[in-house]
Structure 1
């Protein structure tokens, strides 16, 4: 009888988790988002090189309007690819385990994720508008970290570790303005890949 009660309680806990948390998130989404950022970061580094800028040694860089525009659209492309990979692997996992995708937990997670991201996006656009390009990379890491931490209560609790890591990395990056691209690659590329692999192994 006790065993049956334990099984019933486990089933109830599982049902409550499914209704209150978005558990269709796949670790592979993080891996491929990280790969997208890694490839994008390498492309940007090569772009600087093609413009005659030695990113690791030049302390004073001149950002022309054309370069800023290309950097902006490179960021947009990376974001689109990361989103598409996230959608693909999420839908695939949902179908595999017969999990609903669009639930109240999904809406809550997206809202809590989107609010800091949109705020951070506007802040970064303002930085670019006023010419503070060196602060853009740290700001993206900080606001992304805050967004992930804010959305953690509606998905896997492990996500908060990624959020805190991004936040800490962004704060450190504020004191090394000339190396924002390297911190950006580490945060959005390497950390995402590590996080994705750990999550995939734990929740596959």
Structure 2
């Protein structure tokens, strides 16, 4: 009986080791919180400073340069926050941040993100600015869902949340910036806090 229990314990340990080796576990909790804060700040700037209020699918805005620069700045800040901390966590666990699993994770995210980005640019050229927010949420949700295969289950759950917000945004198109702020702002902050209490404390 004792030998059987030892075998079961060994099998469980082997399985745990295999799961750790096939999952990207260096995701940063603080980077998620910071990305959420950047997104909320960006949404505030777009609405209050740039007066970008997409309340219908066909929405006329004189010049999207400032909006694109704001979105690019948010993305840049999020990456700058995420990469060093993810590397630190990987080194802490005696792992490389850039490995076969992280490459597969990024590849699985790249397909929906690039596809969505191209589609959004095409729709913008037709003046369909009201679809920017819901489609960014939808395709980001698809990317997270794919990434969940190579990371923790919570990433896939966050993907479902983002896709749900994107679909709801299509139903309530006049609240695009609000849904965008919830998805990229509040959801990331909640995710980061959850990750901190689950893995860091």
Query: TM-score over 0.5 for the alignment?
Result: yes
Q: CA separation in 2, counterparts of 1:90 and 1:173?
A: 31
Q: Structure 2 residue aligned with 1:120, among 116, 123, 127?
A: 116
Gaps of 5+ in 1: none
Aligned to 2:10: 8
The worse-fitting range, judged by mean Cα deviation, of 91-100 and 138-147 is 91-100
The structural deviation recorded for 1:135 is 0.5
- SS of 1:32's equivalent? helix
Residues matched between the structures, number: 197
Q: CA separation in 2, counterparts of 1:10 and 1:25?
A: 24
Gaps of 5+ in 2: none
Aligned to 1:154: 150
The Cα offsets for residues 11-60 of structure 1, whole Å up to 9 and x where unpaired, read as: 312321222111111222211111111111111122244xxx7x49x779
The structural deviation recorded for 1:138 is 0.5
The Cα offsets for residues 59-117 of structure 1, whole Å up to 9 and x where unpaired, read as: 7964002xx11101111111111111111220121122222222211111110011100
Structure 2 residue 33 is matched with structure 1 residue 31: yes
**After TM superposition, where is structure 1 displaced by more than 4 Å over at least 4 residues in a row?**
1-4, 58-61
Q: CA separation in 1, counterparts of 2:13 and 2:96?
A: 17
Are the aligned partners of 2:23 and 2:150 in contact in 1 as well (CA < 8 Å)?
A: yes
Structure 2 residue 67 is matched with structure 1 residue 71: yes
The worse-fitting range, judged by mean Cα deviation, of 157-166 and 20-29 is 20-29
- TM-score, normalised to structure 2, is 0.90
1:87-106 counterparts in 2 under 5 A?
A: 87-106=83-102
